[in-house]
Amino acid sequence: MQELDEQINEALDILIENETLISHELRSMLKKFKEEKKAVGYSFGKLCYWHYEAFTDCLNEDIYNVAAAIELLILSFDIIDDLQDKDSDYSWTKTPELSLNVALAMLVMASRTVRKSTFEHKSIAIQILEDYALRSINGQQLDLLNTCRDEQSYIQMIEQKSGSLTAMSCLIGEVLAKGAISSEIEEYGKYIGIIQQIKNDIQSLKTWGPKNDLLNKRYSLPIIYLLSQGNDVSNSVVNYYNDDIDAFLDNNATENELTNGGAIRYAITIKNVYKFRALDTLENVAINEVCKDYLKKLIN
């Protein structure tokens, strides 16, 4: 685990331990869920930290608490998403009713932590947190409705669902340092979320199991492409999506069509469009090289 991850992790431990208004039962679940999250790292908290560090002259140690607060919000959204999608095997899916309370506690603790911080511009940070969290919830609602079935509406949906959370993380760091936000950082922040979501969508097609978007009749860019092709494989997938009882999905033919028919390439192309847009925007922002390098790793 890297040093910054460890600092955010430590801040999370302290936040959970010091919250006096939660019971032993809630606290132990919070700790357990946080431990599972630790394994994937704290990318959102790090986005916040690096943007704060890039624009501040004097580092306020409270930034680790704010980064931890962002991670609490992200974890609460992940838990709710997993409970809604029923496609993961994290421990929170075993006790959905209890896990919902943990997610609610995390959400409240997130804004409470920012409010309790010593930053001059914390009220703007809370406003950003609330605005972008609501935008993400809007995107999640659209995703669950499964009605975004073309390129434009699908990208708008993932921009809200995923782009809002990455943009929020960057902007909170920036605003705590400067007291103001910039449109460039909001823009590439959003693009990072879009890129990561498209990568996840491609990843979802790599397993023929409960997480496979195609088996779950979900829409994503490669699937939108596949459904538009009008060939035999495409038609059988259309029939499957339309609940045609005679629909038959040939695994090998479908995989072959996704890889050799252009569906994955199409998704990669759209991801690349956002990659180049993000890199272009990033070039116009005066931030230090450490922050830039971290962002480039997420963009590429």
Partner 1 sequence: MINVIQHLEKNPDLVALLKEQKASLIGVSAMEQRAILNSFEEDVRLENGFWN
Neighbours of 288 (CB within 10 A): 11
| One of 147, 272, 284, 288 touching partner 1 (CB under 8 A) | 272
Is residue 297 close enough to count as binding partner 1 by CB under 8 A?
A: no
Is residue 149 close enough to count as binding partner 1 by CB under 8 A?
A: no
Q: Which stretch binds partner 1 (CB under 8 A): 74-82, 105-113, 117-125, 255-263?
A: 255-263
Is residue 261 close enough to count as binding partner 1 by CB under 8 A?
A: yes
Is residue 269 close enough to count as binding partner 1 by CB under 8 A?
A: yes
Q: Quick one: CA torsion of 254, 256, 259, 261, rounded to 10 degrees?
A: -90
| One of 264, 278, 291, 299 touching partner 1 (CB under 8 A) | 264
| One of 29, 114, 125, 205 touching partner 1 (CB under 8 A) | 205
| One of 192, 224, 282, 287 touching partner 1 (CB under 8 A) | 224
Is residue 229 close enough to count as binding partner 1 by CB under 8 A?
A: yes
Is residue 158 close enough to count as binding partner 1 by CB under 8 A?
A: no
Is residue 240 close enough to count as binding partner 1 by CB under 8 A?
A: no
Contacts by residues 280-284 (CB-CB < 8 Å, ≥ 24 positions apart): 281/184, 281/187, 281/188, 281/191, 282/184, 282/188, 284/184
Site residues, partner 1 (CB under 8 A) = 151, 205-208, 224-225, 228-229, 251-252, 254-255, 258-262, 264-266, 268-270, 272-273, 275-277, 280
